[in-house]
C-alpha cells in the first residue's frame, strides 16, 4: 500500500511539473524569430504594433522574438540589405547561429533576399501574404501613378520612419512599386529563386541551400464590417479579375516553399492581426497561426 501511494505521488509530481513546461515552451524555437514588416510598415507606433499582439504571444510561449524596421517604401534589395544588417546585430547579441525570418507582404521577398545572399545565417523563411510573383495593384501603380503620388508615398514612408524611431531610413516609393510589380518581381526572382514554385500556383522547394521555406495567406478582402480598412481592400481586390486574393496579393502569388494554406478568411491586413485585432469572427486568429508555426519549427528541431 505504501509503495502504491509513493508511486501515485511520483506520477502527480511529474504531471504538475511537466504541464507548465509544456505550456510555456510551445513557441520556443532553437533560433530567434525575426519579424519583417511590409510596404508602409513599421515595428510599432507607440502602443500600435504592426504585428499586432503577435510578438508578445510568441514570447509568452518561450520564443526569442525581434521586430525589425526597414524602409517603409523602397526596393527589395535596399530593404534586404537593411534587414541583413539587423540580422547580424541580432546574432551578435544572442550568440545564435541563425534566425527564422517571418515576413509579411513586401517583408516576404525582403526576407528571401537575406536567405539568398547569406543562407548560412537563416534557418527558415516564412512568407505571409508575400508578393512573391508580383501584385496587379503594383502593376496598376507603375503604369498610371503620377509623380505626385510617389512623392506622397515618400513623405508617408518618412513620417512612419520618424514616429517609429527610424528617421534615417531612405524612402523610395517608386522603387517599391517597381519591386512589387509583376515585372519587378520576375527580375528579382531570376536572381533569388530559392523556394519559388516552378508552376503558376504550386509549391516550391521545402528546403534550399539549408534554408526551409514556408508560406500562408488569406483569400478574402472584406472580413469585418467594423474594420475601416476593409472597404479599401474590397476595391483593390477588383484588380485581380476574380482570382483568389487578399485584397493586395493574389493567393497564387503568395506561394513559397511549403504552402500551409492560401485561403484563410483573412485580408492582407488581417494576416498580421490588423487593424488592432479586428478580423473575421469565424476564422482562426492570426496570432494562433503564428504560434502554431513557431511550434512547427520547434517540432523540426529549428
The catalytic residue positions are 105, 246, 268
CA dihedral 269, 85, 180, 101 (to 10 degrees): -50
CB 40 within 8 A of CB 160: yes
Reference 169, options 83, 103, 91, 108; nearest CA is 83
What's the rounded Cα separation, in Å, for the pair 2 and 108?
61
From residue 52, give the alpha-carbon distance in Å to each of 127, 239, 260, 275, 296.
17, 27, 21, 8, 21
Alpha carbon 69 to its chain centroid, in Å, reads 13
**How would you classify the pairing of strands 44-45 and 48-49?**
antiparallel
Amino acid at each position: 500500500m505504501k509503495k502504491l501511494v509513493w508511486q501515485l505521488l511520483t506520477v502527480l509530481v511529474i504531471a504538475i511539473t511537466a504541464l507548465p513546461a509544456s505550456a510555456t515552451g510551445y513557441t520556443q524555437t532553437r533560433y530567434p524569430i525575426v519579424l519583417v514588416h511590409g510596404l508602409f510598415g513599421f515595428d510599432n507606433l507607440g502602443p500600435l504594433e504592426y504585428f499586432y499582439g503577435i510578438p508578445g504571444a510568441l514570447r509568452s510561449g518561450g520564443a526569442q522574438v525581434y521586430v525589425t524596421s526597414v524602409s517603409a517604401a523602397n526596393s527589395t534589395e535596399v530593404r534586404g540589405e537593411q534587414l541583413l544588417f539587423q540580422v547580424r546585430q541580432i546574432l551578435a547579441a544572442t550568440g545564435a547561429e541563425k534566425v527564422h525570418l517571418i515576413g509579411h507582404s513586401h517583408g516576404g521577398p525582403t526576407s528571401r533576399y537575406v536567405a539568398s545572399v547569406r543562407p548560412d545565417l537563416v534557418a527558415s523563411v516564412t512568407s505571409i501574404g508575400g508578393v512573391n510573383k508580383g501584385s496587379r495593384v503594383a502593376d496598376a501603380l507603375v503604369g498610371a501613378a503620377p509623380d505626385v503620388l510617389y512623392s506622397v508615398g515618400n513623405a508617408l514612408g518618412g513620417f512612419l520612419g520618424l514616429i517609429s524611431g527610424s528617421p534615417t531610413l531612405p524612402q523610395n516609393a517608386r522603387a517599391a512599386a517597381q519591386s512589387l510589380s509583376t515585372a519587378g518581381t520576375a527580375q528579382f526572382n531570376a536572381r533569388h529563386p530559392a523556394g519559388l514554385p516552378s508552376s503558376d500556383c504550386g509549391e516550391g522547394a521545402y528546403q534550399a541551400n539549408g534554408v526551409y521555406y514556408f508560406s500562408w495567406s488569406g483569400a478574402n478582402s472584406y472580413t469585418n464590417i467594423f474594420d475601416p480598412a476593409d472597404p479599401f481592400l474590397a476595391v483593390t481586390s477588383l484588380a485581380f479579375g476574380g482570382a483568389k486574393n487578399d485584397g493586395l496579393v493574389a493567393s497564387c502569388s503568395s506561394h513559397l516553399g511549403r504552402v500551409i494554406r492560401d485561403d484563410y478568411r483573412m485580408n492582407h491586413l488581417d494576416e498580421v492581426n490588423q487593424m488592432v485585432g479586428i478580423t473575421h469572427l469565424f476564422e482562426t486568429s492570426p496570432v494562433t497561426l503564428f504560434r502554431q508555426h513557431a511550434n512547427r519549427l520547434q517540432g523540426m528541431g529549428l
